């Protein structure tokens, strides 16, 4: 069992960041014409979308609106992931359905994580709504490609193994989300949104530590065959978490005034295989480090799957 001092949720009542800061919902974002001339978003060279040469002719108002649409999509996606994906994984742990791998105190801590994610979902949804209203963006009710892909992957597992499949999804989601939040913070200049994302990030660091410890115990408890199976499946889960919707991005670009040829060039960069693999590898760097520490890449079958997916190099140390 882990040492008490290494418990991620130690002093959780006092330190859970988003839950302890209800004023974060008071954004006072403003609305209407006032937004058109305000640099709401940071358009850096590392921004795959807004740094594309095809977008250079866009004015500040158009770039703001495009960046706002992307931010709303990120927030909506995160809201769904929190209460529909991560909390399903937390339920499996909290109900002690992984007792063959995880001690009971970790099941109790899963309820703390579950509670955090409920707060995250509410505050994130509130922020999304505020940004949508400011920029007069329509609410979208289309199914998320990411959520559908993750749920389909879990559904493929035999019923007796679905709790473990949900755990694997939760592990990937909670150990990679910190970098995605940092990216969103770097691209957002509004102080209210910065504060919300920072508080969210503080909690997710705790959650990442929890899932890292849990994964180490689960991996240790798997036999060689199970390690080959689950380890070999993880690249698919990582890819699902970072898949982009070309239709949705195409709509944003069309609304921004780009013609069909320009839209195609942008989509090739954003949704093409090589760019998507690079992005997945970068955002999953923390997850890959955890897998390395647990010895996952010492297993030839697992290492081969990650090399095939472009997530580690062929000469990765064994």
Q: Residue 92 sits in a domain of what CATH number?
A: 1.10.620.20
| 208-213 CB contacts, 8 Å cutoff, 24+ apart | 208/174, 208/175, 208/177, 208/178, 208/286, 209/8, 210/8, 210/9, 210/106, 210/109, 210/113, 210/174, 211/170, 211/171, 211/174, 211/175, 212/175, 212/290, 213/2, 213/6, 213/8, 213/106
The answer to whether residue 190 sits within a structural domain is: yes
Which pLDDT score is estimated for 3? 44
Per-residue confidence (pLDDT) for residue 1, from 0 to 100: 40
In a domain? residue 18:
no
Give residue 189's domain range.
Answer: 33-40+49-308
Q: Is residue 286 part of a domain?
A: yes
In a domain, residue 17? The reply is: no
Among candidate residues 158, 145, 160, 153, the one with its CA nearest the CA of residue 246: 145
pTM here is 0.90
Write out the H or E segment, with its range, that includes residue 298.
none
Largest CA distance in the chain: 61
In a domain, 218, yes or no: yes
In a domain, 160, yes or no: yes
Query: What's the structural domain count of the chain?
Result: 1
Question: Does residue 28 belong to any structural domain of this protein?
Answer: no
List the chain pLDDT tens, one digit each, 318 residues: 444 457 888 888 877 878 777 676 666 665 544 555 566 676 555 677 878 888 888 888 888 888 888 899 999 999 999 999 999 999 999 999 999 999 999 999 999 999 999 999 988 998 899 888 888 888 887 778 899 999 999 999 999 999 999 999 999 999 999 999 988 887 777 777 888 888 899 999 999 999 999 999 999 999 999 999 999 999 999 999 988 888 888 988 998 888 999 899 888 887 776 777 888 999 999 999 999 999 999 999 999 999 999 999 988 765
Residue 59 in domain: yes
Give the pLDDT of residue 56. Answer: 85
Whole-number Å distance between alpha carbons of 122 and 117: 9
């Amino acid at each position: 069992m882990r040492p008490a001092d290494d418990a991620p949720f130690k002093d959780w009542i006092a330190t859970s960041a988003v839950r302890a800061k209800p004023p974060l919902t008071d954004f006072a974002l403003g609305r209407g014409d006032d937004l058109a001339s305000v640099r709401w978003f940071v358009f850096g060279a590392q921004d795959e979308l807004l740094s594309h040469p095809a977008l250079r002719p866009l004015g500040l108002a158009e770039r703001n609106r495009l960046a706002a649409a992307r931010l709303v999509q990120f927030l909506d996606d995160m809201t769904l992931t929190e209460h529909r994906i991560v909390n399903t994984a937390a339920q499996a742990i909290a109900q002690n359905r992984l007792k063959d791998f995880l001690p009971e105190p970790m099941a109790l801590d899963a309820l703390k994580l579950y509670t955090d994610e409920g707060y995250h979902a509410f505050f994130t949804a509130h922020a999304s709504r505020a940004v949508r209203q400011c920029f007069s963006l329509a609410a979208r009710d289309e199914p998320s490609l990411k959520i559908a892909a993750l749920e389909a992957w879990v559904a493929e597992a035999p019923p007796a193994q679905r709790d473990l499949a949900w755990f694997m999804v939760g592990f990937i989601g909670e150990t990679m989300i910190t970098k995605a939040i940092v990216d969103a913070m770097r691209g957002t200049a509004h102080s209210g949104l910065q504060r919300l994302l920072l508080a969210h990030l503080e909690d997710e660091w705790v959650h990442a530590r929890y899932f890292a410890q849990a994964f180490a115990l689960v991996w240790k408890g798997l036999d060689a065959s199970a390690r080959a199976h689950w380890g070999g499946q993880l690249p698919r889960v990582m890819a699902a978490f970072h898949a982009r919707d070309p239709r949705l991005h195409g709509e944003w670009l069309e609304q921004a005034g780009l013609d069909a040829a320009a839209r195609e060039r942008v989509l090739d960069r954003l949704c093409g295989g090589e760019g998507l693999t690079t992005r997945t590898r970068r955002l999953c760097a923390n997850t890959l480090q955890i897998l390395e520490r647990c010895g996952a890449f010492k297993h030839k079958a697992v290492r081969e799957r990650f090399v095939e997916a472009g997530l580690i190099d062929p000469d990765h140390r064994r």
